Amino acid sequence: MPNKDTNLTLRVGRSLQERRLDKYLHGRYSNYSRVMLQEVIKAGGVKVNGKKAKPSLKLNPDDLIEITLPELPTNEIPPEDIPLNILHEDDDIIVINKSADIIVHPARGNTHGTIANALAFHLASAEPVEDEDEGEEDEPEIDDANFPIALGEFRPGIVHRLDRNTTGVMILAKNAIAQWKISRQFHDRKVEKSYIAIVHGTPELTRDRINAPLGVNTKFRYKYAVRPETGKEAITFYEVLETFRGFSLLKLTPKTGRTHQIRVHLAHIKHPIVADDMYGGKPVYPWQLKDAELTPEAPVIARCALHAWTISFKHPTTEKIVSFEAPLPDDMQNLLDILRKYRKK
């Protein structure tokens, strides 16, 4: 999920001394650099008297300013030499194919070995990039003391999350401006995502919408459940790509980003994801898929068979739509190969 922003409203006082909007806001919020505030304004994060504004707007007493400021976390993330499967990298973003059994960000009980630790190491090891001076008039110099992009001053690049055992495409930001811009796209539901899952059974409809509000499970606080009366809106579209005896390959397009959304929604329609033991999925074994006699052997896949397949979003600098695709991991590909060989209808 995106990082939390702070929504603020303020009234310009009658003793106004600095009239330019970006300079005025920098005076009020000095922990943000003027460069950062300019980017927030340009991205539509500031309104003056109900209208989007430019950094150079001249303010007047009694003007009403509405501003959405990005979160500035203070917890330092220790760098750790953990390999990242990088699909794309430029000055602003890294797109990775996340592997299974790794969490995204340190949390209680998991303070090391995360994607954030790996990114901190990657950024610290990268060659510095020198920006060319374009000579633009009235562009302020970056105040390093206030600009929150140095390691240890902002949470490295985490703009959205995947569950520990979900693989696939994931965006990481290399600086605070890119992080905020992409986080806003997630918040505004402008990021297009699709997932691949292998599920038990075959849905009655080849494509459909699952519209079922989600909330925390009342019995098990670490789980989520459909909560029609109190849950938050949650919508997932699915399409059946391939069917087998007892199983199906689905493409899923979530329109909301609730925790465990796809997993809970598929369990809700009685087609849980293979090996998702938290939500009713069962492990499958080679002998089982081959209709052979029971044989002691490891399951074909040892984790929830869910993969973040594609993602499309507006690049934070070029503002062009970019799209990326993560190939299936070996364990899911192996399960598909066995299903196609032994379970084809």
Domains of the chain: 6-69 (3.10.290.10), 72-125+147-184 (3.30.2350.10), 192-342 (3.30.2350.10)
Question: How does the average pLDDT of the chain come out, rounded?
Answer: 86
Residue 131 pLDDT: 35
Burial 54-82 (b: 16+ CB within 10 A, else e): ebebebeeebebbbbbbbbeeeebebeeb
pLDDT above 60 (res 129): no
Report the catalytic residues. 163
Q: Is the pLDDT reported for residue 14 higher than 90?
A: no
What's the whole-number mean pLDDT along residues 181-202? 94
Question: Which of 108-122, 132-146, 177-191 has maximum average pLDDT?
Answer: 177-191
Is it the case that residue 140 has pLDDT exceeding 60? no
Average pLDDT estimate for 260-271: 98
CA nearest to 106, candidates 176, 151, 158: 158
Q: 3-state class of 277 per DSSP?
A: helix
Q: Does the pLDDT value for residue 183 go beyond 80?
A: yes
> Above pLDDT 70, what percent of the chain?
86
Q: Work out the average pLDDT over 235-247.
A: 98
Question: Which residues are within 8 A (CB) of 204 and not within 5 positions of it... i.e. 6 or more apart?
Answer: none
Distance of alpha carbon 280 from alpha carbon 159, whole angstroms: 29
75-85 residue pLDDT tens: 577 889 999 99
Q: What's the mean pLDDT in 134-158?
A: 37
Range from 70-79, 212-221, 253-262, 285-294 carrying the lowest mean pLDDT: 70-79
CB 26 within 8 A of CB 12: no
pLDDT confidence tier of residue 143, bands split at 50, 70 and 90: very low
Q: What is the pLDDT of residues 299-338, one digit of tens each?
A: 999 999 999 999 999 999 999 999 999 999 999 999 999 9
Average pLDDT rounded to a whole number, residues 123-134: 53
Sequence-ordered alpha helix ranges (H) in the chain = 21-28, 34-42, 115-125, 176-187, 261-268, 286-289, 330-342
